[in-house]
Each structure stands twice: as structure tokens, then as C-alpha cells.
Amino acid sequence: MAWKTLDDMDLTGKVVLTRVDINVPVDNGKVTDDTRIQRILPTIRDILAKGGKPVLLAHFGRPKGKPVPEMSLRIVQPALEAALGQAVVFVEKPSRAEIDATAEGAVILVENTRFSPMEEKNDPEMAQFLASLGDVFCNDAFSAAHRAHASTEGVARLLPSCAGRLMQAELSALEAALGTPERPVVAVVGGAKVSTKLDLLGNLVARVDTLVIGGGMANTFLAAQGIDVGKSLAEHDMTGTAREIMDKARAAGCEILLPVDVVVAREFKAGAAHETVPADACPADAMILDAGPETVALVAKALAAAKTLIWNGPMGAFEIEPFDAATNAAAKQAADLSRAGKLVSVAGGGDTVAALNKAGAAADFTYISTAGGAFLEWMEGKELPGVAALG
């Protein structure tokens, strides 16, 4: 899909409405992790360098359409100023006159867009009002691009629009992984439930060469093949669906890689007594908590042959040792191959980022998306309203 970037826009003397994601964690009125703030700095700096005036639009928390003092973006202002190295003008109720009156080179932060009930309804009146504040719209919030809100989709249809640097990086990475990837493509999909990832699995089997299934989901697929998984986390009502996905994969020429050996324990706690058994030999009183070394070797072989990797979800109960071994081993190998320039690796989703950070592998992945829901919907093959509106 063709979308414009900041490079395509003349911003001299223009007010650039910039949708950002600064929905950061806060404790006792202080920002505890400014990753999302750091990620929008290139866009703000580029707008300023091109002679534009950035007016930041963002949401914070879930105020449900009414002002909630503890969800005011004022809380984020000091951290934003510290990261930018300059003052930020905070505006509660913006007007074009007030924006025009601020000095050249100013950065303006508008109060939480979700304080208005019109935002999440994508009310044309609010989109019209936002459009009246600026000359150009720049969307740098990929993480909110799956929502058709006034500040993500509505306003984009009313002003010349482009993607910010973070949005551009995210879309380029995803295009490289799923749009026109170098083959073979391997997808690692883990996590607890098949039911939450049906659309994802259905889309991936038609697009990738090998699909590695891990975590609790793998237990459902093993159960679908008539294997007794003991007390393991599994969705026994989804076994028919799992078989359908396997049939679809076979028809599409996609190999599904399930555990051939598993690490089992009787209790779910760190350092619990555990043993490795063949995947079809889980004791009736035990639960599968990780993939075993033979499975890790098969995944390693698939990764070594791959050119592109898409990763969503851990391969086992990565939060506690020693059930993080399969996730850590696969993540480290993917990181090594990426660092050596042999693999394009794109990962996303909450647990995924945590698992890759824990494995010390995140820094070497080609791209890690922090977008959560938007990343998943893109992988499911769905059109994202906030991206479509930039076309």
C-alpha cells in the first residue's frame, strides 16, 4: 500500500497535527518507562527541522469520554520535556489562534483526546475540529492504527496526511516480514490459547513456509492428534479447529512444527522437579510446561534455513525457570542469525517482547513492535483503519 512519509511533505510554516502513542506506565505521578516517548522523538525532531510546528495528539489510559484528572497528559509533560531537551506547551482546550500564537520551534501537547466522548466514536464533528487546528496530519501511532478514532482515522481523511518515522519503520518492517518477504519464512506462534489466535494462524498458514507452534497452544494441537496431555493447559473444545488449521496448512504447503519432546512437571513453580519425555508420553498427573531439547533442535534447523522470521508468543512458561529454556534457545539463535545478516526477524506482542528481553535477544532482532493489538491485526491480514486513511 502506498502511504506518504514526512519526506513527501512540505512542512515549512505549517502546523503538523501529530498523533503519537505516549500511553506510558506511571507510578505516583511519575513516568516509570519512557520507551514510547523515546520512539516518537525522531518524528518530532524531523518536523521541527523541516520548519513545521508539531501539535501532539494522544490518549492516556481509558477515561471513557470524560475528563479524569489522573489521566491528564500533564503527567507525561515533564518526561516528554526531559527526553526532547526543550519545553513543551501544554494546551487543555486547543484553538488555532492559540497554536499560531506560540513561538516558532515550539512543541505543543494537547490534553487527552479520550476526554471527549466523540474520540472513540470517530465523530465527524471532532475530526473536523481537529482538522481545523492544523495544516498537515502525521500519524506516528501505529499502536492505535487498528482503532478508527477521530484522532487516528477521521482527521486523516480531512488533511494532507503522512506516516511519522515510527509508523514508517513499523509498516516497512511488517511489509518485509509478511508483504513481500524473502523465503523461506518461519513463524513462531506461542501463548496460552488457540482461541485468541485463530485468525492469526489461519492467515499465517497461507503465507509462511514453516509454522512453529509453542506454549499452551501446542498442547491443544497435540490433543487434536489424540495425544494425552495430562493436566496441561489445553483447550479441548478447540481440537476440531486445530485439525482444520493443520488441514489448511497441508493444503497450502506449510509445515507445522509441534513439540516432539516436552518438559513436564507436577507443579507450576520455579525450580519444580521436572523431566523431559516424548510429546506423546506426558504422565497423566503432570503438565507440559516447555518444549524439550529435540524440539529446540528442530526449531534451530528451521531457523537456520529461513530468511524471514515472524515471532509472536513464547514457546513455554518462560516466566519461570527452567521452563524458559526453549524460548531462550530459539530467541538467542534468531538474534545471532539476525546480527549476522542472515535473517530478517520481526517480533511483537506483549509477552513476546518480555520473553525476548528476558532471553537477552531483543536488541538483535531486526524489528520489535510494541504495538500489541495493531501488530496482531496486521498479522491476521486485517486492514488497519489508521493506516488505510493515509493512502
Q: Is 226 a residue of the active site? A: no
Residue 300 near residue 336, CB atoms below 8 Å: no
Q: Is 243 a residue of the active site? A: no
Gap between the Cα atoms of 139 and 141, Å rounded: 6
Gap between the Cα atoms of 145 and 348, Å rounded: 15
Catalytic entry in 19, 36, 53, 114: 36
Catalytic entry in 193, 248, 339, 358: 193
| One-letter identity of residue 156 | A
Q: Is 36 a residue of the active site? A: yes
β partners of residue 212: 188, 257
- Alpha-helical (H) ranges within the chain are 35-49, 77-84, 96-101, 117-120, 124-133, 165-174, 198-205, 215-224, 239-252, 293-305, 325-339, 350-358, 373-379, 385-388
Gap between the Cα atoms of 69 and 65, Å rounded: 13
Name the percent of the chain in helix, strand, coil, to the closest 5.
45, 20, 40
Residue 328 near residue 358, CB atoms below 8 Å: yes
Query: Nearest-5° angle of CA 256, CA 179, CA 189?
Result: 30
Instruction: Look at phi and psi of residue 80 and say left if phi exceeds 0, alpha if psi is from -120 to 50, else beta.
Output: alpha
Gap between the Cα atoms of 319 and 201, Å rounded: 24
Residue with cell 517480533: 347
Gap between the Cα atoms of 289 and 280, Å rounded: 14
Catalytic entry in 179, 350, 360, 391: 350
Burial tier of 21 (Cβ tally within 10 Å: 0-12, 13-18, 19+): buried
Catalytic entry in 202, 372, 373, 381: 373
Residue with cell 479520550: 114
Q: Is 39 a residue of the active site? A: no
Which sequence positions are flagged as catalytic? Answer: 36, 193, 350, 373
